Amino acid sequence: MTHDNATTSRTIHEGRNIKRFREMLGIKQDALAIELGDDWNQQKISLLEQKQTIDAPLLKQISAALKIPVEAIQNFDEEQAINVISNTINNNDNATMTNPSVFNYQPSFNPIDKMIELYERMLQSQREMIEKLERLIEGK
């Protein structure tokens, strides 16, 4: 049985990627709307996150607001990322040797470094929130 490349290739959903990164960073739709300006509100962000493709100038504005590279939004494929992680774990870091098809694109940034950076920022914001809550509790 042969597979047609058109049916097996994945299409990147930029709106869904914006939502994923926004949620990983702990940013609410309202907060992103404020960052993007007066024309924006929570509902407009919600609609934006449903769009498969987003105009380049707007994508730049959103990536700047989220402080992530435009390429992260344009290239992130959740299923591919899961495959890479799964193969890395299952093959003791031999994923690229045992399954070179896992990497079917060459991004201009290191996606693992960017994911680590995002997680570190997310952890830092959680630490700050915990510190604020602790100060609040101590004040009572």
List Cβ neighbours of 111 (8 Å cut-off, separation of 6 or more): 72, 75, 76, 81
Q: What is the pTM of this model?
A: 0.55
Digit-coded pLDDT (tens) for 64-91? 998 888 888 888 877 666 665 566 555 5
Tally the domains of the chain: 1
Q: Which two tokens stand for residue 12?
A: 């990147």
Residue 57 covered by a domain:
yes
Asked if the structure places residue 18 within a domain, the reply is yes
Q: Exposed e or buried b for every residue in 104-136, given b needs 16+ CB within 10 A?
A: eeeeeeebeebbeebeebeeeeeeeeeeeeeee
In a domain, 82, yes or no: no
Determine, yes or no, domain membership for 116: yes
Q: Name the residue range of residue 119's domain.
A: 5-77+105-138
Asked if residue 20 is part of any domain, the answer here is: yes
At 86-139, the pLDDT tens digits run 665 555 444 444 444 444 444 555 667 777 777 777 788 788 888 888 888 887
Q: What is the CATH number of the domain that holds 42?
A: 1.10.260.40
Question: Is 88 contained in some domain?
Answer: no
Asked, for residue 128, whether it belongs to a domain, the answer is yes
